[in-house]
Amino acid sequence: MSAVTRIVGDLRQGWGRYTVIGVPYLFLIVLFTIPFLVVLRLSFSQADGASFADLTSYTDGILHIQIKLANYIYLATDDLYAETYLSSLKFAAINTGLCLFIGYPFAYFMVRSPVSMRPALLMLVSLPFWTSFLLRVYAWQGLLDDEGIINGLLMWVGIIEEPIQMLRTSFSLIVGMVYTYLPFMILPLYSNLVKMDMRLLEAAKDLGCGPLKAFWLITVPLSKNGIIAGSMLVFIPSVGEYVIPTLLGGPDNLMIGRVLWDEFFANNDWPMASSVAVTMVLLILAPLVIFNRYQSQTGGDR
Amino acid sequence: MDSRFGRFWLAMGYAFLYIPILTLVVLSFNESKLVSVWGGFSLKWYGVLAKDEAVIDALFLTLRIAFFSATAAVILGTLAAFAMVRYPRFFGRTTFSAHLNAPLVVPEVITGLSLLLFFVMIQNLLGPVEEWGPFLTLFKNTFGFPEERGAFTIWAGHASIGMAFAAVVIQSRLIEMDKSLEEAAMDLGCKPFQVFYLVTFPQIVPALLSAWLLTFTISMDDVVTTAFLSGPASTTLPVLIMGKARLGLDPTINAIATITVAIVACAVFAGSLYMFRQEKKLAAEAAAAYRDAD
């Protein structure tokens, strides 16, 4: 009797297990893996509109596989694409550097604030997440426009005579990116720094270490994981950014997300857009793999 | 480091984060269409907004999609979080976890493009739906897909992105949760479903709520994926705003922004009030429990 109930119990648990794992797994495969395979496949076909001509065909007892590398060859040989990829990486790197420069001291001072104030400070950082990202980026149009608030203020004070062009330049693009991604840098740094044992700094002080030196020798190395996590969270999405370069960037600020968009919507070249997407994934995959490997290594050390 | 310098840095940082939002709010009440000229206080742009049927339609479509996609995302995210936390070993777990986290890092243009191509492929494969029998016809009449892309395809895309975010939130709650309560319930003869319903579920409700709110916001806010997945008759509010913003400054956008900020502020206020009360209640209960034990 007990054996029977156990088997029934096992089966029932097994059924639960299959649902819990299977349903989300299936959903991910259908809405993530297969779509990406479709992109991969289309990237090897030719630009004749939106056709899904088979890459493989079976005629006269021979299996034909046709892979057209035309898109990739074009991507590799056309200077525009190489420049676009490089400039996307450049803007993402500048953005990450600036976010770290502003965000690290910010998170540090948040942690050094009185404990009672910390929840409020933390909430104020994450609050902008809840308002529309698009609207917050749009706000910078009004601030940086030739007839915008900043130019108006500067001319009113008398520092400048003529408006400075700030909107649709690399400057406005970078301001918009830093503004959008700063919380993504601050939050992981904060949750890393808050766990740090402050007694270490006191010990350093007792041993005659100055505050700046203690910061550099103790705080920064201990927060390495937070720095890496924050940098990844900023760098990876900003490589493929579309909205910010479109609303704030200049015509010569090439960003790969925008090129993909134009390739798709303006030129209607679906295979080319797919090739750009595949190359972009490869581009982000590299830092991601390094990050994962690093994480598993440090995990193994402990 | 000097604490005055610290306070200055924090103040500058918060100013940087909040001044743009504040300018939108202030400008929404500006009579003048020009940003740098204050033409006096006016509710004119709200009036323009209220009469704009395209905006109203887009708002309701956006809310509908956000509601259903957040709900689906939380259900799927809960399952995925349980799979990750409670089953340390199963076939393809590494792939599963990589898949689950992918939407968090894959650029939206790629998510959008791949989902669109996938839906187009399905449309092409299926052809005219009527030939596939009453079930698919009913599906088409209810959701509009695969006849044309629109609310349904946007919903599916948002649900799959939201699922990843929901799973992260719920996972962290599950990890820190005390498992001994579930084991106790099991020992006292609860069936697995009862354990979930009576013990686990009440404990993860706050995480489910915040996951729902987060995915709702993500869906409400999404431009890029939505632009790829929308059809001719389905413009969501962000897509509409993006179209206006590309053409330059538009005071009605300021009015939309102010309304959003007001709603978020109210929600945050209500939320913190609720949390505060809940904590007080819990503390009082704990104190009472200790008193009884003595």
- Confirm or reject CATH 3.20.20.70 for domain B53-253, answering yes or no: no
The answer, for B126 touching chain A at a CB cutoff of 8 Å, is: no
- With beta carbons less than 8 A apart as the criterion, state whether A120 and A205 touch: no
CB pairs under 8 A between A and B: 233
- Average pLDDT of the residues in B274-293: 80
Query: Which member of A132, A143, A239 has the closest CB to residue B23?
Result: A143
What was the pLDDT predicted at B233?
Answer: 79
A52 interaction partners in chain B (CB closer than 8 Å) = 121, 124
Cα of B294 to nearest chain A Cα, Å: 31
Chain-chain contact of A52 with B124 (C-beta, under 8 angstroms): yes
What was the pLDDT predicted at A12?
Answer: 54
Please tell me which residue of chain B has the smallest CA distance to A211: B1
> Within its chain, how far is the Cα of B131 from the centroid?
37
What was the pLDDT predicted at A50?
Answer: 45
Token representation of residue B33: 């269409």
Q: Give me chain B's average pLDDT, please.
A: 87
- State which amino acid sits at residue B247: L
Chain-chain contact of A281 with B103 (C-beta, under 8 angstroms): no
Burial of A134 (0-12, 13-18, 19+ CB in 10 A): buried
Q: Please report the residues numbered 258 through 287 in chain B whose beta carbons come closer than 8 angstroms to any beta carbon of chain A.
A: 260-261, 264, 267-268, 272
Cα of B291 to nearest chain A Cα, Å: 28
What was the pLDDT predicted at A300?
Answer: 38
pLDDT tens readout for residues B199-236 = 888 888 989 998 999 899 999 999 999 999 988 778 89
What was the pLDDT predicted at A202?
Answer: 84
The answer, for B129 touching chain A at a CB cutoff of 8 Å, is: no
- With beta carbons less than 8 A apart as the criterion, state whether B249 and A145 touch: yes
pLDDT tens readout for residues B47-97 = 999 899 999 999 999 999 999 999 999 999 999 998 888 888 888 888 888
What was the pLDDT predicted at A56?
Answer: 60
B276 interaction partners in chain A (CB closer than 8 Å) = none
CA distances, B88 to each of B85, B93, B204 (Å) = 7, 8, 20
State which residues of chain A have pLDDT below 70: 1-14, 46-67, 291-292, 294-302
Please determine, for residue B284, whether its predicted confidence score (pLDDT) is greater than 60. Answer: yes
Please determine, for residue B196, whether its predicted confidence score (pLDDT) is greater than 80. Answer: yes
Chain-chain contact of A13 with B192 (C-beta, under 8 angstroms): yes
The answer, for B82 touching chain A at a CB cutoff of 8 Å, is: yes
CATH of A71-301, picked from 3.30.2270.10, 3.90.1200.10, 1.10.645.10, 1.10.3720.10, is 1.10.3720.10
Query: Which member of A17, A211, A264 has the closest CB to residue B1?
Result: A211
DSSP class of B151:
H
DSSP class of A131:
S
Please tell me which residue of chain B has the smallest CA distance to A212: B1
Token representation of residue A205: 């002080």
- Average pLDDT of the residues in B141-155: 82
Tell me the H-state helices in B108-200: 108-126, 134-143, 151-176, 180-187, 192-195
Residues written for chain B: 294
What was the pLDDT predicted at B170?
Answer: 92
Please tell me which residue of chain A has the smallest CA distance to B191: A9
Cα–Cα distance, A287 to B133 (Å, whole number): 48
Q: Please report the residues numbered 11 through 70 in chain B whose beta carbons come closer than 8 angstroms to any beta carbon of chain A.
A: 13-14, 16-21, 23-24, 27, 34-37
Chain-chain contact of B253 with A135 (C-beta, under 8 angstroms): yes
Burial of B90 (0-12, 13-18, 19+ CB in 10 A): middle
Q: Where along chain A do its domains lie?
A: 2-65, 71-301
pLDDT tens readout for residues A8-65 = 555 555 677 788 888 888 988 898 889 999 998 888 876 554 445 555 656 666 665 6
DSSP class of B102:
H
What was the pLDDT predicted at A59?
Answer: 62
Chain-chain contact of A139 with B257 (C-beta, under 8 angstroms): yes
Q: pTM here?
A: 0.85
3-state SS string for A33-75: HHHHHHHHHHCCCCCCCCCCCCCEEEECCEEEECCCCHHHHHH
Cα of A219 to nearest chain B Cα, Å: 12
- State which amino acid sits at residue A160: I
What was the pLDDT predicted at B282?
Answer: 80
What was the pLDDT predicted at A49?
Answer: 45
Chain-chain contact of B264 with A130 (C-beta, under 8 angstroms): yes
What was the pLDDT predicted at A66?
Answer: 63
What was the pLDDT predicted at A301?
Answer: 37
